[in-house]
A = this chain, B = another copy of it.
């Protein structure tokens, strides 16, 4: 079987619990989180190549123009993007790479790297999503309602995704992610050298 890792591109509404599932996966030794490039200033505790790859605007624009980014966007005057190099190195080393990213960026990545697997994560239903956002206690009712409307909007694009994971419990959703990776590794499109292996030539 192909030893190369799988790029998992995960999206889903705020409150879907993506972050927790990603953390669980990264505790396993063959999963790693993609590291973003940014032009914003590092915070005191942030290390280059660990939390972000920090760049000047000029460097970032060069990377972008050389197609060295899988996706990029500008927020509040700073650039953010996903360097292809780090992702590729990890995949070649046999690690599965996780990219937690909003819908538009996710579709950008899939276009450039079609072998990437698009996963949309949702809570079991809208009511549960509302409950989770309320429990957090960090946002007022108006903001929560805005997030719920945004979740419904984002779901319009779910058909562009490969897989849907319903995050009912952390254990089940983590298991589902591992099932997806295991199945993807068996895809014939990822095992094109099988004829040679079969003949004993590799």
Seen from chain A, the residues whose Cβ lies within 8 Å of a Cβ on chain B are 1, 120, 122, 125-127, 152, 155-156, 158-166, 176, 179-180, 182-184, 186-189, 191-192, 194-195, 197-200
Identify the closest chain B residue to A181 (Cβ): B183
Q: Tell me, rounded to whole Å, the shortest Cβ–Cβ distance linking A168 to chain B.
A: 10
**Bound state CA distance, A179 and B181, in angstroms?**
10
Query: How far apart are the CA atoms of A161 and B194 in the complex, in Å?
Result: 13
Q: Report yes or no: A166 in contact with B1, Cβ–Cβ below 8 A.
A: yes
Pick the contact of A163: B126, B180, B186 (CB < 8 A): B186
Number of copies: 2
In the assembled complex, which residues on chain B have CB atoms less than 8 Å from the CB atom of A200?
125-127
Question: CB distance B188 to A183 under 8 Å?
Answer: no
A195 to B180 Cα, complex, angstroms? 21
Also in contact, A186 and B164, with CB within 8 A (given A179-B179, A194-B155): yes
Residues of B within 8 A of A1 (CB): 164, 166
In the bound complex, residues from chain B placing their C-beta under 8 Å from that of A199 are 125-126, 152
Which chain B positions have C-beta within 8 A of A186?
163-165, 176, 179-180
Chain B residues near A163 (CB-CB < 8 A): 183, 186-188
Q: Contacts of A179 on B, CB cut-off 8 Å?
A: 179, 182-183, 186
Residues of B within 8 A of A164 (CB): 1, 186-188, 191, 194
Within 8 Å by CB of A159, from B122, B125, B166, B188, lies: B188
